[in-house]
């Protein structure tokens, strides 16, 4: 049985082999591998976000409380410090500043990890993630209050 590399031209094959042997490639691969401690932390964080999501969906008053906390922080610190995006449409920004948004837990568009999401009301409902550090702070506050 032949290897898929055998079917490639020699120059391409050597380039792939060289990259696979490089210290940079090895280090990048090592960074992707997660140890047991990392997996345990990730699982705990996922459980916390799942608990917050369940409580927000089943108890509307808790969802409103979370919204009021985030809204207060946005007025004090500014939207840019709370939200994890720079590509907010002007309409969505106006809606958020006016307090016309909903909170939810969803996958972050770039990291694909659970995060708090702000959904602006209006014709175009943009899902705007809260920064990772702020999401974790809000989840911790939410779970302590529960």
Please tell me the distance from the alpha carbon of residue 56 to that of residue 38, in angstroms, as a whole number.
Answer: 27
Q: What is the pLDDT of residue 146?
A: 64
Q: Chunked in runs of 10, what are the mean pLDDT values of the chain (146 residues)?
A: 69 78 76 82 90 91 90 88 81 86 86 87 79 87 78
Cβ-based neighbours of 45, under 8 Å, separated by 6 or more: 113, 114, 136
pLDDT value for 128: 87
Instruction: Look at residue 120 and give its three-state secondary structure.
Output: strand
pLDDT for 1 equals 40
- Answer yes or no: pTM beyond 0.75: no
How confident is the model at residue 58, as a pLDDT?
92
């Amino acid at each position: 049985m032949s290897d898929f590399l055998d079917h490639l031209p020699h120059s391409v094959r050597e380039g792939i082999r060289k990259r696979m042997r490089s210290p940079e490639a090895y280090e990048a691969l090592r960074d992707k591998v997660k140890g047991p401690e990392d997996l345990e932390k990730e699982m705990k964080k996922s459980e916390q976000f799942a608990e917050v999501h369940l409580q927000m969906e089943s108890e509307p008053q808790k969802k409103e409380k979370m919204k009021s906390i985030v809204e207060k922080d946005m007025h004090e610190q500014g939207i840019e410090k709370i939200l994890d995006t720079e590509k907010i449409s002007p309409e969505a920004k106006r809606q958020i500043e006016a307090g016309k948004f909903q909170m939810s837990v969803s996958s972050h568009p770039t990291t694909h990890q659970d995060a708090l999401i702000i959904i602006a009301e209006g014709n175009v409902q943009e899902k705007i993630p809260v920064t990772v550090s702020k999401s974790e702070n809000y989840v911790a506050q939410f779970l302590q209050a529960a």
